């Protein structure tokens, strides 16, 4: 994009987006610069394409992109395509019929990759966290039951512990947004990177997209700022390329990226069996699934479509399909729920980030209340959705991946996100799930801890990830602990 003001302004006028500069002559020089700098980030041709496809009258529902491949259209895809959909196959856990020897082989392969330094952790932390309503980067939200460790501290300690276990400190990539980048950076500095080598913690910003009104006109947030928002977790793939993170990985001999979200402290971000499955199957993108708890559970569904693995959002899968059961077992047919935990091959990320015909991730539309300005430039807080944000979703990369793989995991070991302030997926449910996990580890290793029928312990306990961050590491530390501690209220193992 050219930097001369007149060139930028003329380009916007030619694209029918001249309203962005409606107040330009009335704002001071610094404000003009701010507006021009926002404008320079925008790919007007991309916005025109999105307007033509996602804002067309026939495409009022969010787009789903499960049908790429030969002969398919490049991004964006206008409508949900449910043709020839069937439930996806997955590798079941040994206790559910999986082959224990295969799982053991996968774990060994994953451990070898970790020892060889081929794996890095990747957290997407650029979301706005509106549902939680917390004022600050979500990763700085305190979550653990006793010590109130923040999400970032939990992940940092897990990553540090895994590095020690495998004799190779891991690199950790964290995607931030324009809005939370500085606060995130300050947070890590203030906490001395939680004992990690700062040279191995890499923060980078994700891209932004402008919001448009319902007629496709780019909205102003103020007279000197365009209404811009993060481009979705799917934006992480191109941000990894643009930021130089992929080059760094190449230099460090990293070819395998373990992707997880900032809001899920239970996640086994470094899971040798998962890594091993991915590597042994030569998969370019692997995913964990949990069996859905009930038909209407709000998770994406792993499905097959024309031989390709796809993820269909819960809002896009018709209720009749969600409710379908297998006559032989009585289980839901579309059972495989996506929990946003993936392993990605770095060459695959580069390919997707480069885009090109039939390879780019589609954008989805989300209708939102977008604060803007009125004709006089005064702030306007809409009561109902007045515009559209465009976002990419990382799971839309799945259909492009060779040998895409899904493995089963236990919900209790991997998934308890903090999404809402109260109720489902809230700090309270997450705290209880952590307590259950700590109690389970203790009981499995012989501690006589009383729990209720849901597995919740009668006392509050906390296990530092540096003591144990998964079943194996906990068992090893517990074995060495002599004498064993008394199981009393506020027991903290570190």
User: Which residues lie near ligand UTP (CB under 6 A)?
Assistant: 124-131, 138, 175, 206, 230-233, 235, 261-263, 419
Whole-angstrom distance, CA of residue 443 vs CA of residue 445: 5
Whole-angstrom distance, CA of residue 339 vs CA of residue 299: 7
Closest to ligand UTP by CB, 272 or 300: 300
List the Cα angle 172/230/119 in 5-degree steps: 20
Closest to ligand UTP by CB, 8 or 151: 151
CB of 257 to ligand UTP, least distance (A): 14
Nearest CA-CA partner of 115 in 276, 223, 332, 308 = 276
Whole-angstrom distance, CA of residue 325 vs CA of residue 320: 10
CB of 34 to ligand UTP, least distance (A): 22
Closest to ligand UTP by CB, 91 or 231: 231
Beta-bridge partner residues of 252:
none
Closest to ligand UTP by CB, 125 or 203: 125
Q: Quick check: helix, strand or coil at residue 120?
A: strand
Closest to ligand UTP by CB, 114 or 262: 262
CB of 250 to ligand UTP, least distance (A): 23
Nearest CA-CA partner of 138 in 266, 265, 269 = 265
CB of 175 to ligand UTP, least distance (A): 5
CB of 390 to ligand UTP, least distance (A): 10
Which residue has its beta carbon closest to ligand UTP?
Answer: 127
Nearest-10 Cα torsion for 87, 88, 91, 92: -20
CA distances from 294 to 297, 324, 336, 393 (A): 6, 11, 11, 24
Q: Quick check: helix, strand or coil at residue 260?
A: strand
CB of 81 to ligand UTP, least distance (A): 22
3 state SS for 399-440: HHCCCCEEEECCHHHHCCCCCCCCCCCCHHHHHHHHHHHHHH
Return the structure tokens found at 266.
């239970």
Q: Quick check: helix, strand or coil at residue 388?
A: strand
Closest to ligand UTP by CB, 156 or 463: 156
Closest to ligand UTP by CB, 138 or 149: 138
Whole-angstrom distance, CA of residue 379 vs CA of residue 318: 39
Cβ pair 463, 493 in contact under 8 A:
yes
CB of 131 to ligand UTP, least distance (A): 3
Closest to ligand UTP by CB, 138 or 160: 138
CB of 47 to ligand UTP, least distance (A): 17
Closest to ligand UTP by CB, 349 or 493: 349
CB of 105 to ligand UTP, least distance (A): 31
Q: Find out whether the peptide bond into 185 is cis, omega within 30 degrees of 0.
A: no
Q: Return all residues near 37 (Cβ < 8 A) that are at least 6 apart.
A: none
């Amino acid at each position: 994009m050219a930097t001369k003001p007149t060139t930028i302004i003329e380009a916007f006028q030619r694209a029918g987006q001249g309203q962005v500069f409606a107040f330009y002559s009335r704002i001071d020089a610094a404000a003009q610069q701010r507006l021009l700098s926002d404008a320079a980030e925008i790919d007007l041709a991309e916005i025109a394409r999105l307007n033509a496809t996602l804002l067309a009258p026939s495409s009022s529902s969010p787009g789903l992109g499960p049908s790429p491949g030969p002969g398919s259209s490049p991004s964006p895809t206008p409508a949900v395509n449910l043709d020839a959909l069937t439930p996806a196959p997955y590798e079941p856990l040994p206790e559910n019929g999986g082959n224990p020897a295969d799982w053991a082989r996968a774990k060994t392969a994953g451990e070898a990759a970790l020892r060889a330094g081929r794996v890095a952790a990747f957290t997407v932390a650029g979301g706005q966290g509106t549902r939680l309503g917390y004022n600050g980067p979500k990763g700085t939200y305190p979550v653990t039951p006793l010590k109130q460790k923040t999400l970032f501290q939990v992940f940092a300690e897990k990553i540090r512990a895994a590095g020690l276990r495998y004799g190779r400190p891991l690199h950790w990539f964290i995607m931030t947004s324009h809005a939370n980048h500085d606060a995130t950076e300050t947070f890590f500095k203030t906490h001395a990177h939680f004992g990690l080598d700062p040279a191995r913690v890499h923060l980078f910003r994700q891209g932004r997209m402008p919001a448009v009104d319902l007629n496709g006109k780019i909205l102003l947030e103020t007279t000197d700022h365009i209404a811009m928002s993060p481009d979705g977790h799917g934006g992480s793939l191109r941000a990894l390329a643009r930021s130089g993170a992929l080059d760094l990985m190449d230099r460090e001999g990293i070819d395998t990226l373990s992707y997880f979200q900032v809001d899920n402290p239970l996640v086994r971000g470094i899971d040798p069996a998962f890594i091993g499955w991915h590597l042994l199957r030569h998969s370019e993108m692997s995913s964990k699934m949990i069996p859905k708890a009930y038909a209407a559970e709000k998770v994406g569904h792993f499905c097959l479509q024309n031989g390709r693995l796809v993820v269909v959002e819960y809002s896009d899968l018709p209720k009749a399909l969600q409710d379908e059961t297998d006559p032989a077992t009585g289980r839901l047919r579309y059972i495989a729920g996506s929990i946003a935990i993936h392993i990605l091959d770095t060459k695959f990320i580069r390919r997707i980030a480069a885009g090109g015909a039939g390879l780019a991730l589609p954008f989805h539309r989300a209708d939102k209340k977008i604060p803007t300005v009125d004709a006089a430039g005064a702030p306007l807080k809409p009561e109902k959705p007045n515009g559209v944000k465009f976002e990419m979703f990382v799971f839309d990369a799945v259909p492009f991946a060779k040998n895409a793989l899904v493995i089963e995991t236990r919900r209790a070991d991997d998934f308890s996100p903090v999404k809402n302030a109260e109720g489902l997926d809230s700090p309270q449910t997450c705290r209880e799930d952590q307590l259950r996990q700590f109690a389970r580890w203790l009981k499995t290793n012989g501690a006589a801890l009383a729990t209720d029928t849901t597995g919740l312990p009668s006392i509050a306990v906390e296990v530092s990830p540096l003591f144990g961050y998964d079943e194996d590491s906990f068992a090893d530390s517990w074995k060495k602990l002599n004498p064993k501690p008394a199981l009393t209220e506020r027991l903290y193992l570190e």
